[in-house]
Amino acid sequence: MHAIRIEEHGGPEVMRWTELPDPSPGPGEVLVRLGAAGVNYMDVGARARGGPGWAAPAILGVEGMGRVVALGEGVRDPAEGDRVAWFYHPGSYAELLVVPVHSLVAVPDGVDDETAAAVLMQGLTASHLSTETHAIAPGDTAVVHAAAGGVGLMLTQLVKARGGRVIGLVSREDKVPAAKEAGADHVLVHSGGGFEDRIRELTGGRGADVVYDGGGADTFRSSQLALRPHGVHAYYGPFMGVPTLRPTDLPNSILLTYPVVHHHVDTRAALLRRTGEIFDLVLADRLTPRVTGRYALADAARAHADLESRRTTGKLLLLP
């Protein structure tokens, strides 16, 4: 089989299309033939800087779907031929991969392969942000950073489904239509900070109830200044830079949180329940991932370069 492997951390040029021995599943595992792998900013951070669990050498990727082709000892479900998906399994940029059964979910009939590969990581992140991080109530105003990106588009849809109002932020004018199509009530074009005054204008001077900030250090302060008293700053952009601050720097008694999607699905039961909710929304046409880039798995470096350039919108997939 082939996989996208790195021997050292760095730019997209460190990604190599590498031939490796076919893996074999052990007890409690299955062998999956990849159908599609999702591309995420997490992958970019793992490639560029590493981090816990990402020491080089490593096969990149964490999200995807495929078909079960072999069973390890003791596995009865899933069966060979079943379509399965996963939201986090390191080493997903590979033609064949061994995955523990407890990390897999069944793909329902009616959900196509590309949708299954595109919806879980960013859909679960959006679910976490809009429920447990700050439970959107009807009438709440949410500011969504990178509103034309994969998480941003799904988060906008989920906020609207819960009765909220969305002010989307995008980096370029040509990204505005995608954010509006997802349901954003207003879309502002901003690069970096400086948007807080406009947010206050759009909220009658009150400020937003929540800012979902995946923009990184450059947007950190403006996100906080855009909030109402006791509003929530949900910062989920660590791969874009982590600012430092003192607690007394926080304005308006705001609440600062760093949401980690694994806490949303920290048990097998939670994973099945939350992914079931995501798939139900997809089947009801209330949540639609916008796949805008399809690349051969061997061309994963080009997908990373395009993602980092901020030229892309929606979801990028790698196809074997």
Dihedrals phi, psi of 281, to nearest 5 degrees: -65, -40
Supply the angle between the helices 150-161 and 113-128 in degrees, to the nearest 10. 70
- 191 — phi, psi (to 5°)? -115, 115
Kindly report, residue by residue over 86-122, the tens digit of the pLDDT: 999 999 999 999 999 999 999 999 999 999 999 999 9
CATH 3.40.50.720 domain range(s) in the chain: 124-261
Cα–Cα distance, 304 to 312 (Å, whole number): 10
DSSP state of 24: -
- Tell me the three state secondary structure of residue 184: coil
Q: Checking phi first, is residue 150 left (phi over 0); if not, alpha (psi -120 to 50) or beta?
A: alpha
**pTM exceeds 0.85 for this model:** yes
Question: Which pLDDT score, from 0 to 100, does residue 237 have?
Answer: 67
Alpha-helix residue ranges (DSSP H) falling in 189-267 = 196-202, 220-225
C-alpha–C-alpha distance, residues 231 and 244, integer Å: 20
Judging by DSSP bridges, how do beta strands 96-100 and 29-39 pair with one another?
Answer: antiparallel
Q: What is the DSSP letter of 314?
A: B
What is the length of the chain?
Answer: 320
Torsion 261-264-269-275 (CA) sign: negative
Q: What residues contact residue 254 under an 8 Å CB cut-off, 6+ apart?
A: 224, 227, 229, 230, 231, 232, 233
Give domain 2-107+290-319's CATH architecture: Alpha-Beta Complex (3.90)
- Kindly give the pairing relationship between strand 291-296 and strand 315-319: parallel
pLDDT for 238: 60
DSSP class of residue 240 equals: G
C-alpha dihedral, 192 to 177 to 317 to 78, nearest 10°: 110
Q: Where in the chain is the domain with CATH 3.90.180.10?
A: 2-107+290-319
CB 142 within 8 A of CB 166: yes
Q: Is 231 helix (H, G, I), strand (E, B) or coil?
A: strand
CB of 147 within 8 A of CB of 156?
A: yes
Query: So what's the pLDDT on residue 195?
Result: 96
Assign 91 to helix, strand or coil.
coil
Residues paired with 210 in a beta bridge: 142, 232
- Parts of the chain with a pLDDT under 70: 237-241
pLDDT the model gives residue 241: 64
Fold (topology level) of 124-261: Rossmann fold (3.40.50)
* Tokens linked to 297: 């798995």
Task: Tell me which residue of 42, 153, 126 sits closest to 92, measured CA to CA.
Answer: 42
Tell me what pLDDT residue 191 has: 81
Closest by CA position to 64, among listed 116, 1, 123: 116
Q: Identify the pLDDT of residue 215.
A: 80
Give CA–CA dist 26/28, Å, rounded: 6
Cβ contacts of 9 within 8 Å, gap of 6 or more: 47, 48, 49, 50, 56
Are 317 and 291 in contact by the 8 Å Cβ rule? The answer is yes
Strand partners, 3: 18, 94
